[in-house]
Amino acid sequence: MPELPDVVVYMEHLRRRLLGTPLTRARVRSLNLLRTADPPLEAAEGRRVTSVSRLGKRIVLAMDGGPVHGAASLFLVFHLMIAGRFRWRPADTAIPGKIGLAAFDFPAGTLLLTEASSRQRASLHVLDGEAAVRALDPGGLEPLEATPATFRAALRREDHTLKRALTDPRILSGIGNAYSDEILHRARLSPLRRTPQLDDAELDRLLEATRTTLTEWTRRLMEQTGDDFPEKVTAFHDEMAVHGRYRRPCPACAAPVQRIVYSGRETNYCARCQTGGRLLADRALSRLLRDDWPRTLEEMET
């Protein structure tokens, strides 16, 4: 799923191409995409894009009043979910057959929305007014705007594992599975530590790791895309420390990266850097192996 760094990169490229230009036509192939009926999507046609912003992992296009005098602003709110992606193509490009969800035609080109999944979770809300947009906000703290005090308060509000707290949009905004792994590795903290167990120093270290990880990856992705529209948005990068690197060496200590799997989600971590050498129990594999499940890196190696 595109997370804060990926969404910011999308926003930058959408601003370059769309700001001040009118949406000439909106074409939708998958009716599952639209999550609102009033106002209709056609009401956005003829309106100019006035801003591109982020709401958690959502991308918000604000549209002006259009050619009708006194018409209110509209907002197109996209959530790409796991497999949704934007593509920029020449004007009036046809919607791809298998993965195409919609096309949005502008004078300079066509913004395609695709989804490489049969479940079609990506969504588009067409909303009238800023209050309707704010209603979609789950309320998470913006991690790059947080102070140490607000960050500590947000993390301690409920009792969760650190992995859950970082990825809960009601607690923190824009962080998902991939960057939470990277943040916790940089902070040298176990993904299964409970939030009430952390002292102020550990939470301050976590905040610094959060800021550094998100800003570094945003800069890195910006540099990788350059002037080209981002086409290969993925949660897996060779430069990552632990995410998607199961059994590969940790860049900090060379120990093999470990994983735990729960509800189809994989969490990657370094046992030596984050858990004092202790292996976290994988619910499926540890139940199968029972007493044979290794508890430490040393047991696993022997």
Question: What HEC string does 225-261 produce?
Answer: HCCCCCCCCCCCCCCCCCCCCCCCECCCCCCECEEEE
Q: Phi and psi at residue 96, in whole multiples of 5°? A: -55, 145
pLDDT, tens digit, 9 for 90 and up, residues 59-89: 999 999 866 645 668 999 999 999 999 999 9
What are the residues whose beta carbons fall under 8 Å from the beta carbon of 106, sequence distance 6 or more? 17, 18, 21, 22, 23, 24, 91
For residues 153 and 291, state if they share a domain: yes
- CB 150, CB 144: distance < 8 Å: no
Is residue 142 in a domain?
A: no
Q: Total structural domains in the chain? A: 2
Is residue 100 a contact partner of residue 84, using CB atoms and an 8 Å limit? no
Look at residue 204 and tell me if it is in a domain.
yes
Q: Are residues 152 and 19 in the same domain?
A: no
CB 64, CB 22: distance < 8 Å = no
Judge whether 173 lies within some domain: yes
pLDDT digits (tens, 9 = 90+) for 243-293: 999 999 999 999 999 999 887 789 999 999 999 999 998 655 444 434 444
Q: Give me the CATH number covering residue 59.
A: 3.20.190.10
Q: What is the pLDDT of residues 131-147, one digit of tens each?
A: 999 999 999 999 999 99
Tell me the residue type at 2.
Answer: P
3-state class (DSSP) for residue 266: strand
- pLDDT score at 284: 53
Residue-level pLDDT at 301: 45
Asked whether residue 117 is assigned to any structural domain, the reply reads yes
Whole-number mean pLDDT of the chain?
Answer: 92
Q: Residue 141 domain-assigned?
A: no
> Is 179 found in the same domain as 79?
no
CATH number of the domain bearing residue 212: 1.10.8.50
Question: Do residues 120 and 160 both lie within one domain?
Answer: no
- In the chain, DSSP finds a helix count (H) and a strand count (E) of 9, 10
Taking residue 291's Cβ as centre, other Cβ atoms within 10 Å add up to 4
Q: What is the pLDDT of residue 299?
A: 44
**101 assigned to some structural domain:** yes
pTM of the shown model? 0.91
Together in a domain, 190 and 227: yes
Say if 143 falls within a structural domain.
Answer: no
Does any domain span residue 85?
yes
Q: Do residues 204 and 187 lie in contact, with contact meaning Cβ atoms separated by under 8 Å?
A: no
Residues 156 and 285 in one domain: yes
**165 shares its domain with 206:** yes
Task: Let me know whether 125 and 174 are in one domain.
Answer: no
| Residue 84: CB atoms within 10 Å | 24
Beta carbons within 8 Å of 133's beta carbon, 6+ residues apart: 55, 60, 75, 77, 127
Instruction: Please tell me the least confidently modeled range out of 50-64, 162-176, 259-273.
Output: 259-273
| Domain enclosing residue 87, as ranges | 4-134
Residues 201 and 117 in one domain: no
Length of the chain (residues): 302
Domain's final residue, options 81, 111, 134: 134
Please tell me the predicted confidence (pLDDT) of residue 265: 84
Residue type for position 244: G
Residues 75 and 153 placed together within one structural domain of the fold? no
Same domain, 169 and 103: no
Q: Are residues 217 and 175 in the same domain?
A: yes
